[in-house]
Amino acid sequence: MTLPLSPEQLHEVTSQVGFAVWQIQVLERAVGAYLVLVHKATLAIARAEVETMFAKAGKSTLGQLLREIKAAEDAPQHLIDQLDGFVPKRNWLVHHSRHESHKEMYSAAGRTALIARIEAIADEALALMKLFDAATEEYLETRGISKEEVNRRTAELLAEWMKGA
């Protein structure tokens, strides 16, 4: 039995899911960096220990990172609230979207609505990433690290990552 869904139609939805998941992964990295740089690392901590913190944060889910940020006494409430509102959307996409949305796949209107929902999640992940990046940069600037220095170090890191590509 062939389902009334073409490979192109399936690809249209699954490529949006993949893109949204990648956007969420970028957000998770930004939130992890925020957690480590703003709430955990201090000048007294050795670089190796900070690198260990980054590695641990890099393995954490968005929900785990949110719990740690909530535990920080000085975390801005607006960041917590926005991330708190996003985590259920992320969880739906990653854990439930396939099973809860299978009926929508078989109609053009359903696929359009599903794709719009997924695109909204990807867009929100990007917007949140920018908020957390800005909060991290603002914090670093209060510690005497200029935006130019952050950009220079970011460029060096990207160049290092791209060496093997």
What would the pLDDT profile of 28-40 be if each residue is shown by its tens digit? Answer: 999 999 999 899 8
What's the pLDDT at 4? Answer: 79
pLDDT tens digit sequence for 44-69: 787 788 888 888 998 999 999 999 99
Residue in 104, 80, 83, 101 with CA at minimum distance from that of residue 92: 101
Share of the chain above pLDDT 70, in %: 95
DSSP label at residue 164: T
Neighbour count for residue 69 (Cβ, 10 Å): 20
What's the pLDDT at 160? Answer: 73
What's the pLDDT at 1? Answer: 41
Classified as helix, coil or strand, 6 is: coil
Neighbour count for residue 15 (Cβ, 10 Å): 12
What's the pLDDT at 3? Answer: 60
CB 28 within 8 A of CB 60: yes
What residues of the chain score a pLDDT lower than 70?
Answer: 1-3, 157-158, 161, 164-165
Residue in 14, 9, 35 with CA at minimum distance from that of residue 139: 35
What's the pLDDT at 100? Answer: 94
Residue in 4, 37, 15, 26 with CA at minimum distance from that of residue 135: 37
What's the pLDDT at 86? Answer: 98
CB 13 within 8 A of CB 115: yes
Alpha carbons within 13 angstroms on the beta-carbon side of residue 86 total 29
